[in-house]
Structure 1
Amino acid sequence: MEPGAATELSAALAAGAARPAMWRVLVDGLQEFRHVPAVAAVLRDGPETAPHGGTDLARGLVAAAVADDRLAGLLRRWARAVNDGPAERVGNHVGGTTTVHGSVVQAGKILGDVHIHVPAGTAPGTAAGTVGGGTAPPGAAPLPVPRQLLPPPEHFTGRTDALDALDVLLPQLDARPLLVVVHGPPGVGKSALVTHWLHGLTDRFPDGQLYADLRGHLPDAGAGPAAPSEILGRFLRALGVTEVPVEPAESAALWRSHTAGLRLALMLDNALSAAQVRPLIPSAPGSLVAVTSRRRLTALGIDGAAFRRLDLLSPGDAVDLLARRIGADRVGREPEAADEIAALCAGLPLAVCVAAARLAARPRHSLAAMAGALGGTGAARLDALDLDGEHAVRVALDASYRQLSPELARGYRRLGLPPVTVLNGPVAAAACAVDPAEGDRLLDELAEVSLLEDLGTDGTTGLGRYRFHDLVRVHAGQLAADTEDPEERRDTVRRVVDHYLATATAAEALLTPSHRTLRRDYAHPPSHRPPFDTPAAALGWLDAERDHLMAALRTAAEEGWHATAWQLADAMWPLFLRLRPHELWVEAHRIGRAAARRAGDRRGLSRMLTSGGVGLRNAGLTDEAVEWFAEAVRGARTDGDRKAEAQALHGLGQSHLLAGRLDPATEHLTAALALREAIGHHRGAAMTRICLGDAALAAGRPRHALAPLARAREELLAVPDPYDAARALAFLGLALARAGTRHSSGRDGEELLWQALDEFTATGSVHWQGRVLEMLGEISAERGGTAEARDRYARSLALYGPVSERDAARLRARIAALDARG
């Protein structure tokens, strides 16, 4: 922080201490930094120390802020807020029938109108606070506004008419979502045009620009055309939704609800059909969906789509593009040869760029020689586009390929085989059986000659990212099919799949070491270290690579590598547990269960059934979850595995409980508890006691819930497991409130629930903050406190909204019932 900041902060601390609401804002913000001694002093001693020891306090905070930009920013903003106005500006209240979209006000009472202006850089749909005075979870920094477009094309040329035609459509944004389909032959520059256009419209879409490659023309089964639910999950997570429904119809409904009121631009690249696109269209006016496709996608006309065909570059524009890539002077020295190259490339930008890259890499070669390599004159000249333009590209790619070194040519061929759409050094190293440095070099050299597109550096791993144009990837794969031994092609794919298995397993070991217990089978054991060394980085890698992990899993199953398939599903457990992509969780374990059966692996099958059962249950598929857990119980009893049997019984009981079948739930949970106690699995026993307490509450027997919940709380505090201990405390508070009794400490149920809310706030669990507020609302409603219940339900709904549509729907129904009651 700046010189003199300690004095300014000292004055702000003294002023803020006299204003409870303002002081509370500071305390809430500092929770994330509570490990810092100076911050801990503020949180421990409260405002009483600030007027008297403010200078020392300020010096300590400033010293800590020097090393942490986020803490420095928090202190600056808070001190500015103290100086800008009276405390009344901090406390606000939203009452009546209120709908909050996008930014959320942390408030006490508001008189008059509220106007929220979202500046660039503010995350859409991300709650900075909650309605009714709640606080944002510490440690959960707002997501950045998603700006996912590909980098703008460096040598974009011409296309003035096409850009003008797209701009003419923009006024329609005020009335409805604008849907535009840009179609044309492969290699004609559809993606470059739309990317260039959208980069110029960033200010029109303050809530974000989202990008997805729909993979409409990839031949691979593992990474073939993208399902709409896959893209919806990715988009919703980019906007801050952490729990995406597994059913496509539900995820599409959540997408429409979440995007209402947002101004978004979507680029849907390489679409195959209207069915891929339709569920992805946002609901709000002001949003734009730009689709690229080789097909016209006429069926989108019923959705109001505007269609723009992108034709070939004019001869003059093709020559201009060549000049931009290799220099105008060089083109000026051989204008006839430049015209010849443009004609042989058939007006396709991709073909021109490939030819230009070869010329740029060989500054002494004549343009006439390149024209000869592309096919010469006369009968060889392309007067029409064979195979919808692919022939012109193939001619250019063949000419470029012939000039590669043998080593680079082999790398090019092999990189066209793995079922991944984005390449990095470790993936290239695995595919080509080289070390990571050599993998990076191969990618860089192929990008230099425009055979790969450089996507920049991945912010999570720091690795460079590259991708093939789909035509170039097909060309590379076809060369591999023509020249590589079938076994070597298979080994290339297997090495990449093994790379993903090994890296995901390393992430699993960091994030959930107790789960990392089953064997791994590698045909090609990787020798490279993973691109992360902390749990946060490991989770970031799993999140960034989730699509490629699923492609690897599908490929393993299709190739008959059954052990690898179920082991990949097992290694992805931290991703499923922490980030809850339900649709992937269920799909992975359905594939994994079938693969473990085919492999004849009993332990693998047991793990797939129990881990997959949890995913099914969380996705709302409780009946299927019951079937899976029941199968796991039978298998564990056959194998004599008591721990696995207890785990399966626990899951079976939870599934019945969620479905409202209380008698079988209690029966299975009681059996699980007895087994866990018998084998000394104390934490597992505590978890089962929480479920038994929940079952007793659901059955209307709160006094029967008290003993198991109190013991679960003690045992989980002793582990320590603060998250699950807070769950036990929340249920215990609800049980005490309903039983009309007090805790041994003398506190009543509501006091314990407020404590549980504080504990969930400290752990950053937004979902459980919402659940506790819902419990508090239930207590108020049961006591006849309608206004208080509505307020608590509203606060709960504000938390549930971005993370769980099912829970949000339940809260909306509770509020509606209160309103109907009057």
Structure 2
Amino acid sequence: MGQVPGDAHENLIGGRARIHGPAVQARDVHGGIHVHTGAPTAVPPPRQLLPVPVHFTGRGADLAALDGLLTGGGRDTTSRSLIVVSGPAGIGKTTLVCSWLQPLAPEFPDGQLYADLRGHSAEGPASPGEILSQFLRALGAGSVPADMAEKASLWRSWTADARIAVVLDNAFTAAQVRPLLHAGPGGLTVVTSRRRLTGLRMDGAAMHQLEALEPAAGAELLSRAIGDDRVANEPQAARQVVALCAGLPLAVCLASARLASRPRQSLKTLADALTRDTERLAALHVEGETTVSNALDASYAVLTEEAALLYRRLGPLPMRTFDARSAAAACAASLEWAESRLDELVEANLMEDIGPGICRFHDLVRVHAHGRATEEESATARAEALRRVCDWYLETATEAEKLITPAQFTLDRDVVHPAGPPTPFTDDQGALAWLDAHRMNLMAVIRAAAASEWHAMTWQLVDAMWPLFLRLRYYDLWIEAHEIGLAAARRDGNAEAERQMLNSGAIGLSAAGRVDDAAEWYEQSRRAAREAGDVRDEGQALLGLGGCHREAGRTARAVDYLHQAIALWEACGYPRGVALARIVLGEIALAEDDTGRAVEYFTRARAGLLAVNDPHDAARALVFLGRARARAGEHQVGVAAMDEALSVFTSSGAAHWQARALEMLGDSARERGEEEAARTFRARALALFEVTSPSDARRLREAPGGT
């Protein structure tokens, strides 16, 4: 501003003076007030994305997936202006999105906005009005109206032609997001949330679910934080630390920070601390940083009361997967209630949906849920939830047993909480499929029942799993379950259950090739049966001993034991046992190439088993009968019998016996010189044996002409 010399009463703005914004020239004023406005300074485009940590790694596939959603390279043919990235707390959603968008800044010349919607903060979620004010000021709006409707209208005006990217981080609901969506076709909004926000599909959102880091990526993240040398010096402990962090980048970063602050601490020391579930979340804590526990506390705090109850009830349970029926049993609730609550937990990303109707906890979330149950539920309530789940598994497995092996003798069941959710199958094939799908959960509840000293429950669960072991031959589970069941039966003081565990467990030992151990179990069962005066059980032990001696090559002793079993069972009126013994005698005759005697044994055995409604064992007799007839020169009749038996095994899902039938068909084809058919049958048998019986698979590969 300049003043003309010599004229104190004249005020002029001239010379090189520059005015920025409105100006009033004061002091003595002559000739009116002069207001001068300069051109406003341009507001730079906002670049608000959070910085990406230098150790960000392992998300190449996710970055490529987001590229596909943006450009139309995914399932849809058009690009999206709204993308939702969801996943559990600590999975790295915000870091991924910021890492993806930063290199794309040139595509959004009008700016990149960021707002934390505080979806799980203690003070509650941010209001849309608060965020709109923040965004409008960042874009250069000089005056932001107070009214929410006016703010929204102004936001739509400002973004109508803008090429901007907006990150709405940590959203809580779809309703919180909708007022913040921009109006222009050239913009992009990316929402991150611990919930899936499926409601935003109605707004055209593309969804990307973020999963845990792969082990190699987790190890790389650890190396970047604490150095390659420490990881290289303790590679096994490093892998264990990463595994115990369950693929959560937040957890790996916290573990890394703890190790970095303790340069002399070994990785094994931290791995040992993380191994103890009760200390795992506490170990993943660094002062001043968000912890996994705090993040999960925030997710848990906003659940409905009913979903929080289910979260606590499922947390301490020993199973790794859950469906609506087991969840309903745990809470003594209806199936519909459980389905809705599970949906809520999945929506909140506190559970993962891993298959049709099957959910599971992320490993660290399970630890957190267990902790919440310990703090908020009484020991009595936790024990009752476990007992209800055990009762439901016992009831359901027993119903499966009745469908699959109706002729099998079933011991009594002691159910404290009966009449759970309805049975999820209607026929023997569905029942076997259910047992197979739930076998690991059944083993988990067996172990938990044993630890709780529910002795009757323990051996009854083992007994109910018999069809699974018989048909699908999971030898390791078969043997472990019966070792636990035998100990429980003895502690329960139930002699009948003890003999049942000995007999059915010995069958598994023998099938697994542990013939001497099986014979010892059968001898124990035989002695116990004699002491109890139980002729039927004594015959069962003799049948087993006959089978063991046959496997060991002691044929004469085997035949003697089998005839003893038949004599006892004929005397007490147990025709099914007689027929089972005749199958083994037929196998011995067939091995000795006495096909006439073998045909007689198998024919009588099949007739006896059909008479007592035992289709599975009748099919076993039939496949052997077909093989014996083929060996005797009646090839066409023999093959027809083997095909018929194979159909029964295929229909019932008995994979092991499907393989046995296919092997017999292959042997018969080879004897006829039909080499191509023989190779096909043996290849099919080998594929099934690889799953059901590795020892049989090895035997088949090593046999002359093996596949």
Amino acid across the alignment from 1:415: L
Q: Which ranges of structure 2 fall in alignment gaps of 5 or more residues?
A: 1-50, 70-89, 101-112, 120-124, 139-166, 181-253, 259-282, 651-656
1:324 positional shift = 13
Kept in 1: contact 2:646–2:662 (CA 8 A): no
1:590 matched to 2:483? The reply is yes
1:774 positional shift = 5.1
Equivalent residue in structure 2 for 1:754, among 639, 651, 668: 639
1:466 matched to 2:466? The reply is no
- The residue aligned with 1:810 is 699
**3-state DSSP class of the match of 1:466?**
strand
Distance 1:568 1:166, change over 3 A: same
Q: Which moved more, 1:325-334 or 1:756-765?
A: 325-334
- The residue aligned with 1:632 is 525
Distance 1:614 1:159, change over 3 A: farther
1:440 matched to 2:222? The reply is no
Q: Which ranges of structure 1 fall in alignment gaps of 5 or more residues?
A: 1-156, 168-191, 200-293, 295-308, 340-352, 367-381, 459-463, 741-747
1:413 matched to 2:312? The reply is yes
Equivalent residue in structure 1 for 2:437, among 531, 544, 559: 544
Q: Deviations over 1:593-630 (max 9, x none)?
A: 11111211112111111222222222222222212222
**3-state DSSP class of the match of 2:95?**
coil
CA distance in 1, matches of 2:67, 2:401: 41
CA distance in 2, matches of 1:383, 1:639: 60
- The residue aligned with 1:313 is 95
CA distance in 2, matches of 1:659, 1:385: 60
1:535 matched to 2:428? The reply is yes
Distance 1:356 1:499, change over 3 A: farther
**Larger radius of gyration between Structure 1 and Structure 2:** 2
Kept in 2: contact 1:413–1:479 (CA 8 A): yes
Kept in 1: contact 2:502–2:522 (CA 8 A): yes
**Cα RMSD after superposing both structures:** 4.5
CA distance in 1, matches of 2:305, 2:638: 69
1:796 positional shift = 4.1
Q: Deviations over 1:401-430 (max 9, x none)?
A: 344454443333222111122222222222
Q: Deviations over 1:768-790 (max 9, x none)?
A: 33242355268x3xxxx8xx286
Amino acid across the alignment from 2:132: R
- The residue aligned with 2:20 is none
Kept in 2: contact 1:354–1:450 (CA 8 A): no
TM-score between the two structures when normalised by the length of structure 2 = 0.59
Question: 1:9-24 to 2 correspondence within 5 Å?
Answer: none
Distance 1:312 1:668, change over 3 A: farther
Kept in 2: contact 1:431–1:495 (CA 8 A): yes
Amino acid across the alignment from 1:757: M
Amino acid across the alignment from 1:575: L
1:690 matched to 2:583? The reply is yes
Question: 1:204-215 to 2 correspondence within 5 Å?
Answer: none
Return the structure number with greater relative CO, CA threshold 8 A, min gap 6: 1
CA distance in 2, matches of 1:561, 1:398: 33
Kept in 1: contact 2:284–2:291 (CA 8 A): no
Distance 1:731 1:490, change over 3 A: closer
Equivalent residue in structure 1 for 2:660, among 744, 758, 768: 768
Distance 1:775 1:752, change over 3 A: farther
1:333 matched to 2:135? The reply is no
Amino acid across the alignment from 1:712: A
CA distance in 2, matches of 1:494, 1:717: 39
Kept in 2: contact 1:163–1:197 (CA 8 A): no
CA distance in 1, matches of 2:132, 2:346: 27
CA distance in 2, matches of 1:702, 1:328: 85
Distance 1:733 1:482, change over 3 A: closer
1:546 positional shift = 1.4
Amino acid across the alignment from 1:807: D
CA distance in 2, matches of 1:165, 1:405: 33
- The residue aligned with 1:186 is none
Q: Which moved more, 1:417-426 or 1:327-336?
A: 327-336
User: How many percent identity over aligned positions?
Assistant: 41
Distance 1:475 1:330, change over 3 A: farther
Question: 1:344-743 to 2 correspondence within 5 Å?
Answer: 356=170, 358=172, 387-388=283-284, 391-455=290-354, 458=356, 464-515=357-408, 517-699=410-592, 701-702=594-595, 704-705=597-598, 707-716=600-609, 724-725=617-618, 727-728=620-621, 731-732=624-625
Kept in 2: contact 1:501–1:567 (CA 8 A): yes
Kept in 1: contact 2:407–2:612 (CA 8 A): no
Amino acid across the alignment from 1:394: S
CA distance in 2, matches of 1:729, 1:589: 30
Q: Deviations over 1:280-324 (max 9, x none)?
A: xxxxxxxxxxxxxx9xxxxxxxxxxxxxx9999279459969679
CA distance in 2, matches of 1:694, 1:197: 64
**3-state DSSP class of the match of 2:703?**
helix
Amino acid across the alignment from 2:561: H
Question: 1:239-250 to 2 correspondence within 5 Å?
Answer: none
Kept in 2: contact 1:498–1:526 (CA 8 A): no
CA distance in 2, matches of 1:678, 1:713: 20
CA distance in 2, matches of 1:594, 1:196: 55
Kept in 2: contact 1:726–1:756 (CA 8 A): no
CA distance in 1, matches of 2:458, 2:410: 16
Number of positions where the alignment pairs a residue of Structure 1 with one of Structure 2: 481
CA distance in 2, matches of 1:354, 1:438: 32
Kept in 1: contact 2:407–2:613 (CA 8 A): no
Distance 1:531 1:760, change over 3 A: closer
CA distance in 2, matches of 1:571, 1:408: 32
CA distance in 1, matches of 2:59, 2:376: 45
CA distance in 1, matches of 2:429, 2:590: 37
Amino acid across the alignment from 2:95: L
Question: 1:4-43 to 2 correspondence within 5 Å?
Answer: none
TM-score between the two structures when normalised by the length of structure 1 = 0.51
Amino acid across the alignment from 1:441: S
CA distance in 2, matches of 1:453, 1:729: 46
Q: Which moved more, 1:322-331 or 1:418-427?
A: 322-331
Kept in 2: contact 1:447–1:454 (CA 8 A): yes
- The residue aligned with 2:195 is none
1:798 matched to 2:580? The reply is no
Kept in 2: contact 1:355–1:396 (CA 8 A): no
Distance 1:385 1:599, change over 3 A: same
Q: Deviations over 1:221-251 (max 9, x none)?
A: xxxxxxxxxxxxxxxxxxxxxxxxxxxxxxx
CA distance in 1, matches of 2:431, 2:58: 45
**3-state DSSP class of the match of 1:356?**
strand
**3-state DSSP class of the match of 2:358?**
strand
Amino acid across the alignment from 1:630: E
Q: Which moved more, 1:716-725 or 1:758-767?
A: 716-725
CA distance in 1, matches of 2:299, 2:697: 56
CA distance in 1, matches of 2:561, 2:66: 59
CA distance in 2, matches of 1:194, 1:653: 63
Kept in 2: contact 1:734–1:749 (CA 8 A): no
Kept in 1: contact 2:455–2:489 (CA 8 A): yes
Q: Deviations over 1:347-406 (max 9, x none)?
A: xxxxxx99935466777999xxxxxxxxxxxxxxx9996744685232233234344454
CA distance in 2, matches of 1:354, 1:533: 48
